[in-house]
Structure 1
Amino acid sequence: QLRAVHRHNSRTLEAITQRLQSDGFVSNDDRFTNCQGRAYICGKEAACRSFPNNTSKCVCPHDLSTPTGDLRCPVRLTVPLSPRPIHNIIPPTVNATNSTTPIPQLEQ
């Protein structure tokens, strides 16, 4: 099983290397088409997008642009490392904090 994983990783690396070494820039580049089932060819930042006519293409998820020649997305939205406070918390009303309900009596 470990050999199968190693072979898969080797094929993935070979496919990425081959795409990076092909000539030309990204506009209408064949390097970024027909990625369905082989999403690894899009690199780590781009994703494979399928279309209704059974074609697929590598796109950057933030703006649907084509990745650069080195398989990167120029526009990336990142999440900040430090958490931010949530400002839309609505405190409970005064009546809700002071209200009590009596315990119902058991019927015999």
Structure 2
Amino acid sequence: MNATPPRKVVHKAADDRLALYDALLCLKTREELDAFLADLCTPSELRAFAERWAVARLLDEQLHSYREIASSAGASPTTVVRVARFLKEMPHQGYRLVLDRLKQKV
């Protein structure tokens, strides 16, 4: 049996993802973003996003061991390694883009 989703479903998922990006981009304040994410995500999902972002920021400082970062962020060592890999090697470079932009704002 073929495990690949039908082409129509794949395109719909991509369209839905782009629509979500457009929704996020139209928000203007932290309060608006908070309200939208509170409706969109479960509290656990929001905690997971915040945890990964905390790990990315700590890794970017290059001052702490992975164990210290896991403890400080309340993350698993696996999460720290995964975020570190995305910071260094992955082609998307989304973490790096945002970290660098935030540094420019300061």
TM-score normalised by L of structure 2:
0.37
Larger proportion of strand? 1
| Larger Rg computed on CA atoms | 1
